[in-house]
Structure 1
Amino acid sequence: MKRKSLNPFGRVLLLCVLLLSGQMTAAIASSQKSTINHSTGSPGPQNGAGSNLQNPAGAPEKGQPGRPDSLHLNLEEIILQANFVTDRQSPLRVATVDQKSIGKKAIGYTYPELIKNMPGIYATSESGSYGDARINIRGFKQENISVLLNGIPISGLVTGNMFWNNWLGLSDATHSIQVQKGIGASMLSDNSVGGTINIITQSTQAKPSTSMGMYITDYGQYKSHLSVNSGQTANGWAFSAMGSYAWGNGYPQSTGVNSWAYMVNISKKINNQHSLLFTALGSPERHKQRSSRLTEAEINQYGLAYNKNWGYHNGKERNLSENFYHKPYLTLHHFYKPSPKRELATAIYLSVGHGGGKWSESKGKRIIDFRAEGLVDWDAAEQANITAGASAQNIVTDYLAGHTQAGFKSNYSRKMASWTFNAGLHYQYYSTWEKEKITDLLGAEYWYEEYATKSLAGLAGRNPYKGIGDMVRTYNGKLINHLSLYTSAQYNSAGWDIRLGASAMGSTNQRWDRYNYIGDVYSKTATGSGMSIKGGVSRKLTRALSVYANAAIYSRIPYSDIYFSSGNNNITQGVKNENNLLAEAGVRYLFDRGSVELTLYHALWKNKSIMSNPYKQLDESNNRYLVRGLDAVHSGIEITGNYTPVRGLSLEGFAGLGDWKWKNDVTANIYDPYSSLLIQQIHVYSKGLPVGDAPQLQLSLSATANPVRNLELFADWNFYDQMYADFNPSDRQDINDRSPSYRIPSYSLINGGISWSPQPRGRKTSTVVYARIGNILNTRYIERGRDGASHTIESFSGFWGSPRSISLGIRLSFQ
C-alpha cells in the first residue's frame, strides 16, 4: 500500500540538478543576444493575488505609458470582450489572480484551488485525485457558477458542471483569472448566480521569448513545461506555443497521473483595422481516482491516503476508477476596429471531446465488496465469477462519453462621449453521446444483458450474450441548441460608473436512445426560453471613498438533464425555469498604504431543481432522483483589506459570514437506474435546513515579504467553520427530523512558500526557484462529505484533506 517516491536527499539532488541546468541554459541564452531580442518587463500584471482593491485586475491606469500588456498582441481585445473588470470604480465585487501569483501557486493545483483565498469561495481537491476539484461561491455549487474562457462560456449545457481535469495542464499558459461574484459583468453568464470565473490565456507577444520549468512534489508527482514566442514579424504574423507534461503519483493511494497539455496561438495583423487570432488548446489526460467516500473508522484504520477503490489483480495494481479524456478547443477571433470608438469582435469555436472512465456492472456482490486488508480483492472477485458459471456476475467496462461543441459569438461596441454601448449574440450547438463497453469478463465466458427487464424495448431481437468489446446498459445522447441575444450600456465619468444590461435566451433539447428504443430513437423536442436583467452603479464620493450597488433578475432555462430527468426519452412534465433575484451593495475605502472593502449580498433562489448523477457504480444507492421546486436564500457579508506597513511587506486579510438556508419542503421523483421508470415519489423535508457543502464562516490572513532583493516569502492562514455536510434528498423523508446535517468540524490551514530569483532584474535571462509547503502544521481535517441517517460522524462519509506537502520548482526564461 506504500507509494514509491524520491527520498528527501533525492528530491534535493534533483532540484540542484535542475537549478544548475537552468543557470547553464540561461547563460547560453544570454550569450546569444545577437539572435534573441530583449523584451522588458513581465507579460502580465505583478500585483499578486487577492482583492487588489486599488486596481482589481492589476492593470495600470488608463493612459499609463509602457503598460506590460502592450507586449501581448490581441490580449487587450480579448480582455475587453471577456468583460474583464479593470476599473476600480466597478460596481461589482471582483478579485483577480495575476500571472505572477499563478506561477508561484499553480504547483499541482487546479484552477479552483488558485482562487480559493477569497471570501465566499470554497475550493478543494475533494478526493485528492488529479484535477478532480470542486468549487462553491457564496454557497452555490458549480452548476450555478459561470466559467468563461477568453470570454466564451465553457460550462456544460447538460448539467452545468465543469470537469477541471480537462483544463488542468493549461495553468502554465494562463495570463490571469478573475472572479466576479454575484451577477458578473458578462451578458453571456446565464448561470452566474454564485459568480463568474473568467480565465484569460496568454496570447502572442510582440517580441521573442522562451520559458521553461519543472516542479516536483514530495509524494512523487512531476511536471515540466516549455513555451516559445516568435514575436511579431515584419508582415504582421506572430506565433506562440506551450507544452507541458505531468506524471507520477497523487497523494492518495493509486491515483497516478499521465497528462499532457498544449496551446498554440497564431496571430495576424492584417492592417490597422483588422486582426486575427487563432488558438488551439487541450489537455489529454489519464488519471486514477479515489471515487468512494470514506468513513472516520476507515481513515483511523488505514490513514489519510487510503483509497478503497483499488487492489491487486494477479500481482498488479488495479483501480476500479480511472478517468481518461481529451477536449481539444479551437477558436478563431476576428477583431475589426474601423475607428477608436467602434469595434466588432467575432469568434467561432469548436471542441470535440472524447474519453471516459473505468466502470463496472454487477448482478450480485459487487467487485468493491470483495475486500482483503482494506483493498479490493480482485482475485477473489474473479474466482467468484468463474465459480458462478459461464455467465458473469461482475464485469469491468469503460463508460465512454463525448461531445461536439461548436459556436459563434459576436459583439459590437460603440463609444459615445461618456457612454459605451454593446450588443451581441452567442449561438452554441452541443451534441453528446454516452455508451458502455465491456473490457474484462473476469474469467467468465459472457455477460447476459437483461434486455427483457432492463430495456423499455425488451429483447427486440437483440443478442443478449455479450463479450469483450460489446456495448451494454446505455447508449444515448442529446442534441442541444442554445442562443443568447444581449445589449448593454455603460456610463463612466470621474465620479460615476453605471452599467445596465438585458439578455434573452432560448434553447431546444432533444434526446436519442438506442438502448431503450428500437426504430424511432429520438425524443420530441423540449424548448425553453429565459431572460436576465442586470445593472449596477458605483459612486466615487471622494478620492478615497466610493460606494456601489448592483442587482439582477434571472429566469434561467433548465439544464437538458432536467428535461429528461427520468433517463429515457419522455420529457419531464411541469419543468419550470429557475428564478433568481440577486442584490449586492458595498463600500470601498482607499488610503496611502492599503484599502478596505465591505460587501453585503442577498440572493433569493426559487424553483431550484436538483438532478442526481444518472450513473453510479460504487455507492450503495443506485437510484436516480429529481428534486424540483426548492427555494433558498443566500445572504452574507464580506470584508477584505490589504495593508503595506513598510516597504517590502504587504498584508491581506478577509472575513466572510453567510446565512444560507433551504426555505421549503418539496417532493422528489425516484427512478430505476436501468429502465428509468418512476419507482416512487417521496416527500423531502428540507425547510429550515442549512445549505451544505461549503463553510458559511471564513477568515483569512496572508503576508508577502521581500527581505532582500530577489527573495520573496509568502504565507497564508485560512479558517473555515459552520460547514454542514451535503445530504441525499431520499434521506430526508421523516417530517419529524429537522436536524441539520452533520456539522463538519472547523479547521484552519497554514500554507507558505519562498521564491528566489538569482539574477538581478533587468537581465535578458532570469531564473526563479520556488518552494511551497501546504498544510504546514499537518492539520487533520474534513474537506467535504455526505450526511448520514444519524447526522453524526458515525454515519458521515466524505473526504479528508491532505497532510503536509512540499513542492519544489524552477522556472527560467530568456528573451
Structure 2
Amino acid sequence: MRKLLLLALFLTSATIFAQGTLTGTVIDSDMNAPLPGATVMVAGTNQGTTTDFDGNFSLDVDSAKGKVSITFVGYQKQTINFNVTGGATQNLGTIELGPDADALSEVIVIGKGVIDVAIGRQTPVAVSTVKAGEIQKSSGNMEFPQLLRSVPSVYANTSGGGYGDSEIRVRGFDQSNTAFLLNGQPINGMEDGNMYWSNWQGVKDIANAVQVQRGLGASKLAISSVGGTVNIVTQTYNNVEKGYVQQEIANDNYTKSTAYYSTGKNDLGWSSTYMLSYWQGDGNFYEGTSGKGITYFFSVGYKPSDEHAFNLLITGAPQTHGQAYQGSIAEALKYGKDYNENWGYKDGSLYNERTNFYHKPVLNLNWDWNISSQTDLSTVIYASTGTGGGTGPLGGYDNKYNENGQINFDEIIAHNRNLPTTEIDGQEYRVGNHPDLEEELGNGYITRASMNNHYWVGGVSNFNYEINDNWEFNVGADYRYYHGDHYRQVTDFLGLDGWYEGRNASIPGGQTVFANYDVNLLDPTFNRARNDQQIGYSNSEDISYIGGFGQIEYKTDLFSAFLQGALSSQSHTRYDYFVYSLPENQESEKITNTGYNIKGGLNYNINDQHNVFVNAGYYSRQPFHDNLFLNFTNDINPLTENEEITGVELGYGFQSELVSLNLNAYYTKWGNRTDTSTRFIDFDEDGVDEEYLANFNLLEQTHMGIELDFIFKPTEELTINGLASIGDWKYSDNPVQSLYDSENLEVVPGFENAISYIDGEKVGNAPQTSVGLGVDYKILDNLSVDADWYYYGDIYAGIDPISFTEEGGEVVELPSYDLVRIGASYNLPLSNNTSLDFRANVDNLFNEVYLTSLSSNRPAAQGDDLYKGINTSNRGYFGFDRQWSFSVKYNF
C-alpha cells in the first residue's frame, strides 16, 4: 500500500512538473545526414538529452515556454524557442547544424543514395569530414589536397611543383589506390587509377563538404579503397537565393576572380547555381611554373514533388601550367631551392619545355526517387571528355644548359636552323630525326606533347529498402565505359621545318610531320593532331566495367552492423597503330577479369559518450589497364593477376559536449600489386638524367598503424583540434621489375623481369609519423583567428629501379620537418543582408626549408657531398617556401 502511494505521488508530481514534450531531428547541414549524439538542453536548466542514431530526440520539459539549445562539437550552436502550454508535444522539426565558420543550412544534397556518407557513432569506419567553413578558409593558391592535411594519416605532397600537381597519400598509399568520388561518381583514371588535381582546380570552389573514409571504408562500390575513400559532395539544390563575387591574391603574382550566383528555389521547384572563375600566377615556388585557368560550374535542380528530385551538374577547369620535375639536390644547392631544369628563355620570353595542359568537362545527373516511406531509388549518370597532356623534349643537343642552369633555347633554335636540308617533293626542308642527318650534327631538338585524350560514360544506381526500424537493405549496379587515345604530337619545331617519323609500322617508308599544335588554354580542346601528324607512338584502349553490389545493415540505439559485397567484370582491349603494320594485328586480344570484395563491420555504443567499432574486408581487385600489356605492345603480361587486399580496423570514440576523440588501429596487406612510374636515371654518367618508365610486378606491402584525432571546445569562442598517426609501412616480398626508355619504349638491357630485393624495406613518399595541432579563436562575433602546426617524420625515399638489383640495399630516410600556418577571417555586415568577408592565410610561416620526397635512392658514402645527411646526387622536391594569400568576398 505504501509503495502504491509513493508511485501515485511520483506520477502526480511528474504530471505537475512535466509541462510538455519537445521532439525533433538534428542533422548535419553539409552532408544532410543525421547527427547522433548531439546535445539538446533547455537553456538555464540541467534538463537535456542526446539524439539517437537517426538524429531524433524526445525531451520532457518542466517549463511551458523557453529556449532549447542544440550543440555538437565542431558545429554551430542553435537556439530555438518552444511553447508547450497545456502539456502539449511540440515538434521542432528538422534542425540543421552547420560548421562553426559558416552555416550552410540552405544546402540540400541530391543523390544521397549513391553518396556513401559515413555517420559518426554508427558507421564502423575511421572517418573525418572537412566542412564547408574549413574549405572556404582556404583562399588563394592553396590546392585541394592541402584541405585534407587536418585528417590523420593523410599527406598532401607538392609533387610536380606546378599548379595542380599536388598529390594525396592516405596511410602510405598513393592516389591510384585511394578512391575519389564526386557526388557518387568515381573519378580516378580508369587506365591507371591516378588523380590529376590540375583537372579539378574548381573542386574547392564548389565543394560543400569532403569526407575521408580511411581504410576500406563504407562505399558499396568496388573501387580503389586500399588507403581510403574521399567523397567530394558539391553544392546541388539550393533553397535560398544567394551570390557572391570574390577577388583573391597570393604570392608570385597569383590572382583569382570568382563570381557565384544561386537562384534559390522558385514556386515550381526549380533551383540553379552558376559559378565562373579565372586564375593566373607565376608559380607557387619553382621557377618557370607559371599557369592560368578557368573554372566553370553550372547546376540546375528540380523538385516537382516530394517523391522526385533531379539535379544536373556541368563543370570543367581548362588550364595550362609549367612543371618542375624532381631535380638533384646538388643542382638546388647550386642554383637555388626553387631551381627548375625545364625552362629557359626563347626569343626573350620564358619558355618551359615541360608544360601540362588539359580540359576535362564533366556532366553529372542525379535522380532521387522516394518510392514509398520504406523504399528509395537513387541514380547518377555521368559523362566526361578529356583533351590534353604534357609536353617534353625530343631529340638531343649537347650544350643544353647555360651557366645559370637554364635551357639555351635560342642556341638550340640556331643549331636547328643550321642543320642541312632534305629534299621533299622538290622542296628543301630542315627535318629533324631524318636518317640522312650525319651523326655528329645531331638529330635536332623539338618539344612534343604526350596526349591523353578520353571519352568516359557511366552510371550508378542504388535501391534502398527499410525492412523495419532496425534492418535496411541496399542493392545496386555500377557501369563504366572508357575510351582513351594516346599519341605524341609536335608543339614547337624550334627552328626546324619538320620532324621525321620512321617507327610507324603502318607507314613502312616513314613520314615527315609538318604540323605543330599549340598548348594555349582552349586550343587543345578543339585542335587535335591527325593520324598522319602523330609521332612516337599511337595507341588506344577500350575499357568497360560492370558491377553489382549489395549491403545489409542492422542498427539500434546501441548497436549497428553492416555487411557489404560487390562483384564486377572488367574488360580491356588495346589498339596499337605504330607497332603493327597489319590492321588485323593492331587490335589486341580482349582481356576480361572478374573481381570482388566483401567487407563488414560493427559498432557498439557503450553509453552516450563511448563507442567502439571493428571492420574487416577482402578485395580481389582487377589490375589497371596500363599493367596488363607487356613492353607497351599488345602482348599480354603473364605476371599480372588480381591484386589481393586484406584490411582489419579497430576503433574507439569518445564524445561529449566539450570533447570529441577518435582512436583507430589498422592493418592492411596488399599483394600482387603492379606499379608503373616515371623515373630519371643517369645510366651513362654524363651528369644528365634521362627519362625512363619503371614497371614493378608482384609487389607486396603491409601497412599497419594507429591514429588519433580530437576536437576540444572549452568555450563557444575557442576550438582546439589535433591529430597524430604512427605507421609501420613495409614491402613484404621481392617483386620483379622492368625498365623502359621513355623515348623509344624499349627495354633497358639487364632490366627485364629482374628481381628487386626490397623485402622488409620501408615504403616511401609519405611520413610514417605525423602530428598536428590547430587552434581557432573567435575574438568577436565577426572576427576570428586560426593556426595549425604540423610535424612530419619517418619519411623515406621511393623505391627506384636500380638501388635494389642486389641484396643489401637500404632506403634513404629524409629529415623530419614541421610547418606552421596562420589565418584570420573578418566579416563586415552591410545593408540589405549583404556583407564583406576578408580572409588572410600564411602557410609555412617560418619559411622552413625541407624535402618532401625523393624519387631516387642513393645512400650516402664516404666522400659524397651531403645535405642534412642526404647524398646530393639524389633527385627530390624541396617543399614550398612561405606562401601567403588574401581574399575579399562580397556576399549578396
Using the size of structure 2 for normalisation, the TM-score is 0.81
Question: Matches of 1:665 and 1:97 in 2, distance apart?
Answer: 38
Question: Matches of 1:481 and 1:615 in 2, distance apart?
Answer: 33
Is the Cα–Cα contact under 8 Å of residues 798 and 857 in structure 2 kept in the other structure? no
Is the Cα–Cα contact under 8 Å of residues 45 and 100 in structure 1 kept in the other structure? no
Is the Cα–Cα contact under 8 Å of residues 75 and 97 in structure 2 kept in the other structure? no
Instruction: Return the offset for 1:738.
Output: 2.7
Match of 1:436 in 2: 488
The answer on 1:227 being equivalent to 2:260 is yes
Question: Matches of 1:479 and 1:495 in 2, distance apart?
Answer: 48
The answer on 1:409 being equivalent to 2:441 is no
How do 1:325-474 residues align onto structure 2 when only pairs under 5 Å count? 325-362=358-395, 364-365=396-397, 369-390=400-421, 391-392=431-432, 393-417=444-468, 418-451=470-503, 457=505, 460-464=508-512, 468=516, 470-474=533-537
Instruction: Return the offset for 1:688.
Output: 1.2
Question: Matches of 2:296 and 2:494 in 1, distance apart?
Answer: 37
The answer on 1:807 being equivalent to 2:885 is yes
Instruction: Return the offset for 1:410.
Output: 0.8
Instruction: Return the offset for 1:563.
Output: 0.7
Question: Matches of 2:295 and 2:253 in 1, distance apart?
Answer: 19
How do 1:596-745 residues align onto structure 2 when only pairs under 5 Å count? 596-613=661-678, 620-673=689-742, 676=745, 678=747, 679=749, 680-735=752-807, 737-739=808-810, 741-745=811-815
Match of 2:230 in 1: 197
Q: Any idea what the Cα deviations from partners look like across 1:281-301, whole Å, max 9, x if unmatched?
A: 1111111222x2122222222
Question: Matches of 1:200 and 1:659 in 2, distance apart?
Answer: 32
Match of 2:542 in 1: 479
Instruction: Return the offset for 1:398.
Output: 2.6
Q: Which amino acid aligns with 1:365?
A: Y
SS in 1 for 2:176: helix
Match of 1:268 in 2: 302
Instruction: Return the offset for 1:305.
Output: 2.5
Range 512-521 or range 280-289, more displaced? 512-521
Match of 2:438 in 1: none
Is the Cα–Cα contact under 8 Å of residues 170 and 283 in structure 1 kept in the other structure? no
- The match for 2:849 among 761, 766, 780 is 780
Is the Cα–Cα contact under 8 Å of residues 30 and 107 in structure 2 kept in the other structure? no
Is the Cα–Cα contact under 8 Å of residues 356 and 398 in structure 1 kept in the other structure? yes
How do 1:455-604 residues align onto structure 2 when only pairs under 5 Å count? 457=505, 460-464=508-512, 468=516, 470-518=533-581, 519-520=583-584, 521-604=586-669
How do 1:84-99 residues align onto structure 2 when only pairs under 5 Å count? 84-99=117-132
SS in 2 for 1:298: helix
Match of 1:33 in 2: none
SS in 1 for 2:567: strand
Instruction: Return the offset for 1:42.
Output: 12
Instruction: Return the offset for 1:593.
Output: 1.4
Looking at CA atoms only, which structure, 1 or 2, has the larger radius of gyration?
2
The answer on 1:67 being equivalent to 2:96 is yes
Q: Which amino acid aligns with 1:782?
A: L
Larger RCO (CA under 8 A, 6+ residues apart): 1
Is the Cα–Cα contact under 8 Å of residues 55 and 88 in structure 1 kept in the other structure? no
How many percent of aligned residue pairs carry the same amino acid? 28
Question: Matches of 1:75 and 1:432 in 2, distance apart?
Answer: 35
Question: Matches of 1:498 and 1:651 in 2, distance apart?
Answer: 32
Range 245-254 or range 553-562, more displaced? 245-254
Is the Cα–Cα contact under 8 Å of residues 259 and 276 in structure 2 kept in the other structure? yes
Q: Which amino acid aligns with 1:809?
A: S
Match of 2:523 in 1: none
Match of 1:123 in 2: 156
Range 714-723 or range 627-636, more displaced? 627-636
Q: Which amino acid aligns with 1:658?
A: G
Question: Matches of 2:269 and 2:834 in 1, distance apart?
Answer: 26
SS in 1 for 2:714: strand
Match of 1:36 in 2: none
Question: Matches of 1:426 and 1:57 in 2, distance apart?
Answer: 35
Is the Cα–Cα contact under 8 Å of residues 139 and 887 in structure 2 kept in the other structure? no
Is the Cα–Cα contact under 8 Å of residues 213 and 226 in structure 1 kept in the other structure? yes
Q: Which amino acid aligns with 1:507?
A: Q
SS in 2 for 1:114: helix
Range 333-342 or range 662-671, more displaced? 662-671
Question: Matches of 2:729 and 2:72 in 1, distance apart?
Answer: 30
Is the Cα–Cα contact under 8 Å of residues 677 and 695 in structure 2 kept in the other structure? yes
Q: Any idea what the Cα deviations from partners look like across 1:493-551, whole Å, max 9, x if unmatched?
A: 10011111000111110111111123232111111111000111110011111101111
Instruction: Flag structure 2 segments of 5+ consecutive residues without an equivalent.
Output: 1-26, 40-70, 79-90, 422-430, 433-443, 518-532, 861-869
Distance 1:56 1:79, change over 3 A: farther
Question: Matches of 2:419 and 2:641 in 1, distance apart?
Answer: 49
Instruction: Return the offset for 1:118.
Output: 1.6
Instruction: Return the offset for 1:209.
Output: 1.1
Question: Matches of 2:351 and 2:278 in 1, distance apart?
Answer: 23
Match of 2:12 in 1: none
Q: Which amino acid aligns with 2:591?
A: A
Instruction: Return the offset for 1:193.
Output: 0.6
SS in 1 for 2:219: coil
Range 779-788 or range 648-657, more displaced? 779-788
Q: Which amino acid aligns with 2:880?
A: S
Question: Matches of 2:502 and 2:681 in 1, distance apart?
Answer: 18
The answer on 1:183 being equivalent to 2:252 is no
Distance 1:468 1:591, change over 3 A: closer
Using the size of structure 1 for normalisation, the TM-score is 0.88
Question: Matches of 1:619 and 1:573 in 2, distance apart?
Answer: 34
Instruction: Return the offset for 1:683.
Output: 1.7
Is the Cα–Cα contact under 8 Å of residues 57 and 96 in structure 1 kept in the other structure? no
Distance 1:655 1:619, change over 3 A: farther
Q: Which amino acid aligns with 2:571?
A: T
The answer on 1:770 being equivalent to 2:834 is no
Is the Cα–Cα contact under 8 Å of residues 72 and 206 in structure 1 kept in the other structure? no
The number of residue pairs the alignment matches comes to 760
SS in 1 for 2:136: helix
RMSD of aligned Cα (Å):
2.8
